[in-house]
Structure 1
Amino acid sequence: MVAVLAVAIGLALAMLVANQAVTGKVAELNASVGTVLTVNPAGGQGFEGGGEPLTAAQAATAAAVPNVTSVVGTKALRLRNAAEAAAEAASGRTGQGGPGGQSATSVTTSLTAAVDAGTLGNRNQAASGASGSGTAGSTQAAPSFSLPVTATGIGAEVDSTGKALQLTQGTGLGDYTATSTGALLGTTLATKNGLSVGSTFTIKDQTFTVKGLFDAGTAFGNNALYVTLPTAQTLAALPGELSTMIVTVNSMENVDAAKTALQAALGSDKADVTQGQRNLQTAISSLDSVKNISFIAFAAALATAGLIILLIMVMLVRERRREIGVLKAIGAPNRTIGLQFVLEALVLVAMGSVVGAAIASFASGGIASALISSSSNTTAATGQRGGPGGFPGGPGGAFGGASQLLTSVTASASPGIIATGIAAVFGVAIIGALVPALLTARIRPIEVLRGE
């Protein structure tokens, strides 16, 4: 019976650990990108499409929308290495277009991109209309291109998705609303060019100083730099123009309403308002399901442990009816009899909790993964027509990148969670021991002894 009790306690603790892990992940998602909206020019995104650029006046309009807490404007640039750009121009080849219709070669830098073009980069740039790439069926080797460095002017210390920049060295740029010669570089871009905090480089023959290094977590994200918004607008020779606006809403519940209000305020023919991560709500919904299931399983396992304790104590009380009758006959109060059985139950629970905690430490991760995997498969099955080729996890599918958010949940059996679970088990044990003991203690001693 103690072994069965230990398994029940272990399952309860494992479910509690899984519940706490999922709860923490949901809170993390809601606090990060869950309340971020992105505003792009209508018909355009990044360096693709068309339409009219966003303006500072539109940023002020967006800031006045209810439930909007902040609006951060950005200006995107593509920087080409000066030497490589000159070589491409001399060979009759051009790169992709730059911001505001400028040629990318007009915004030059002394920096060399940290990512090699490779097969994908050469293919993409050749397909964008670059000359000298040859015709179909030609045996001429495809030309080699250099990748541009992504430069973004920002009005606050955030990245292009609205998350706070994760600086690994140095400091921020100070006042992001003023022109500055400081810059923040991705770690790999700085390493590629042999730069560190305090080093200098040039953009458009203007000297910039590295104020800090950041880690975006991806190779593409680290092949980038950030400057203040007015600086980027000056480099692009397009003052007051914005590439995108990052809008933060005060809570997850108000995102949909704020999105609708923003679209109405800015005009559907002027701006496109999108959620930073389309699949975030799907991920949070799936995680909420896992959280609910784990909590119900915890309560069920806890109730099972309580039932086991109750059955054990019922058997003990029935076997010791004569002892209870004798204690009552010599004047023992009910609380003394109840306390005796409660202490015995707590000893059993303590033994079961030691084994149960060990079971939870080893099994909680696997149980959480199984619950999340089951939830992921269920959600993906409901939207299997969303992705390309019918693949539910593809871009634009019903589940898409949300699966990566789900698999990033890790369950850790911390001492605090284990202690909370064991305290709940002890509470159930006290109730399970008191009920049969007190019911028997109410019997008159003469009835107990007569029955014996």
Structure 2
Amino acid sequence: MSILARSVGNAFRNKVRSGAVVIILAVAIGLALSMLVANQAVADKITSLKASVGNNLTVNPAGSRGGQGGGEPLTTADLSTASSVAHVSSVNGTLSLRLSNASTTAPAPAAPEGQGGSRTGRALSGTTSLVSAVDPGTLGNRENGRTSTSAATASSGATASSGATASSGAAVAGSTAVRPAFSIPIEATGVSGSVNAAAEPINITNGTALNDFAATSAQALVGSTLAAKNSLTVGSAFTINDRTMTVSGIFDAGTAFDNNAIYLPLTAAQTLANQPSEISTMTVLVDSIDNVNATKSALASALGSTRVDVTAGPGRVESTIGSLGSVQSISLIGFIAAVGTAGLIVLLIMIMVVRERRREIGVLKAIGASNRSIGVQFVFEALVLVVMGSVVGAVLASVSSNSIVGALVSTNMGTTAAVAGSGRQGLLAARQAAGGFGGSAAPGGGRGAFAGASQLIGTISTSLGWQTLVLGVLGILLIAALGALIPALLTAKVRPIEVLRGE
């Protein structure tokens, strides 16, 4: 009988014990494979985040702060300059316009502070046939006060320039001018490429994205609240200044105010606003978050540090990636621990088997079997049990890996929140990040301080591919072989004469 056939037969001598060993090994191997799959899934998510999230840079004219002005405008030539900087994947320029309804009088210029009136200082860029979908309400009218009052009081006995004397008493000449009712301007943004590359992500619910970026383009994306207010659908027409525009799509940006907006092709917006080649801001996509700081400095140098302000997004992405890095380390440690446990189980089982078969080993040696052949037999016997455990463990890993990686991410987010805070507030943030108080424990369901990180992570999907399975099983078989080798070497110490004398 061959050594392999004898090893397979010996593995099932004691079926109850072999079954128990296979189950224990399956649990350890299943955990090891799950940790390996989690490690690879988290590594893929980190790579994805580095390449697509948190690697945006915003370029504004130096000193510019929204509608308060400052600096000189950027130009389309700056787009080409920025595109040539190392590690820049794409550049998207935008031009912001403010449109009023053509049937109403444009708001008057801002009055000095203390006399009422708007302090935002942003001028209108043109008119449109559309009516704003956002009512200014009390706050809007308060910030953009529409009434001014002036009065002149002549005191008793004052002499007029004509020499006539005013009658005794007070003469009051007053005038009150009521300006037209204020309406919220409609924000129009000209974009040079993908809308989502230049602003917060939007969802086009009807129609198609912009695809004609010529100066004569009549395409427009209209927000859902603005479209509903003006009864617009895909294909409807409206005007901006003297141009008739056609609705190519309707989008949802998440809020009623953001949906009171329009997206236009950049060159068309420049033509309509009579601002040729001008852009308000640039959004620069860097190829990886690791290169953001270097690219930020390179952009400032290329465009002129005195001409532009280059800013990066908040550091939330870095902390999120750091948290995922901790999960990756934990999963690697878990894989090593589970594989080591499987090896220890094999070691203890084979030591027990060798002790039970001392008489058999002595007889085999007495009839000429070598120490090598006997040791290999025990190693093969252990590997048979490990292979069976690996098959069952792979099934367990494929079923449980998603739950395990979700638990690891949620737990780590909660721990990070607790470390970031202290006392009651730290505990509250930890419980909220972990899905406490009614929140979801799955990635993306966190609430509180780390809800944004959970939203960035989203769902981490795991897959037990054949490459992962082969890599994991080979590592487990190697550890199992080493665990069986030590008991196999003990067979060399068995002396046939001592075993036979004891019979």
TM-score normalised by the chain length of structure 1: 0.75
How far, CA to CA, are the matches of 2:147 and 2:361 in structure 1? 100
1:102 aligns with 2:123: yes
Secondary structure of the 1:201 match is: strand
Contact 2:96 2:189 in 1 (8 A): yes
1:416 aligns with 2:436: no
Give the corresponding residue for 1:31: 51
Q: How does 1:289-438 map to 2 (within 5 A)?
A: 289-327=326-364, 329=367, 331=369, 333-334=373-374, 335-351=376-392, 360=401, 362-379=403-420, 403-406=451-454, 408-416=457-465, 419=469, 423=473, 426-428=476-478, 430-432=480-482, 434-436=484-486, 438=488
How far, CA to CA, are the matches of 1:447 and 1:48 in structure 2? 100
Give the corresponding residue for 1:125: 140
Contact 1:43 1:272 in 2 (8 A): yes
Q: Kindly tell me: are residues 429 and 323 of structure 1, through their superposed partners in 2, closer, same or farther at Cα, counting changes over 3 Å?
A: farther
RMSD: 4.1
TM-score normalised by the chain length of structure 2: 0.68
Contact 2:339 2:476 in 1 (8 A): no
Contact 2:82 2:302 in 1 (8 A): yes
Alpha-carbon distance, 1:374 to partner: 1.5
Alpha-carbon distance, 1:369 to partner: 0.7
- Structure 2 gaps of 5+ residues are 1-19, 150-179, 426-447
Contact 1:7 1:356 in 2 (8 A): no
Q: Kindly tell me: are residues 212 and 326 of structure 1, through their superposed partners in 2, closer, same or farther at Cα, counting changes over 3 Å?
A: farther
Which amino acid in structure 1 is aligned with residue 465 of structure 2?
Answer: G
Alpha-carbon distance, 1:30 to partner: 1.7
How far, CA to CA, are the matches of 1:276 and 1:291 in structure 2? 25
Q: Which has the larger radius of gyration?
A: 2
Aligned with 2:60 (options 40, 45, 62):
40
Q: Percent identity, aligned pairs only?
A: 43
How far, CA to CA, are the matches of 2:28 and 2:147 in structure 1? 71
How far, CA to CA, are the matches of 2:193 and 2:323 in structure 1? 33
How far, CA to CA, are the matches of 2:497 and 2:406 in structure 1? 53
- Cα deviation digits, residues 323-343 of structure 1 (max 9, x gap): 344455474834444322321
Alpha-carbon distance, 1:180 to partner: 0.5
Give the corresponding residue for 2:95: 75
Q: Kindly tell me: are residues 190 and 129 of structure 1, through their superposed partners in 2, closer, same or farther at Cα, counting changes over 3 Å?
A: closer
Alpha-carbon distance, 1:259 to partner: 0.7
Secondary structure of the 2:465 match is: helix
- Cα deviation digits, residues 129-153 of structure 1 (max 9, x gap): 433499xxxxxxxx99654433211
Contact 1:150 1:223 in 2 (8 A): yes
Secondary structure of the 1:107 match is: strand
Which amino acid in structure 2 is aligned with residue 75 of structure 1?
Answer: L
Alpha-carbon distance, 1:12 to partner: 3.3
Which amino acid in structure 2 is aligned with residue 154 of structure 1?
Answer: V
Secondary structure of the 1:239 match is: coil
Aligned with 1:439 (options 470, 489, 498):
489
How far, CA to CA, are the matches of 1:220 and 1:17 in structure 2? 43
How far, CA to CA, are the matches of 2:399 and 2:146 in structure 1? 66
Which amino acid in structure 2 is aligned with residue 344 of structure 1?
Answer: L
Contact 1:321 1:448 in 2 (8 A): no
Q: Kindly tell me: are residues 181 and 305 of structure 1, through their superposed partners in 2, closer, same or farther at Cα, counting changes over 3 Å?
A: same
Alpha-carbon distance, 1:271 to partner: 1.5
Q: Kindly tell me: are residues 96 and 14 of structure 1, through their superposed partners in 2, closer, same or farther at Cα, counting changes over 3 Å?
A: farther
Give the corresponding residue for 1:139: none
Secondary structure of the 1:284 match is: helix
- Structure 1 gaps of 5+ residues are 135-142, 385-399
Contact 1:17 1:411 in 2 (8 A): no
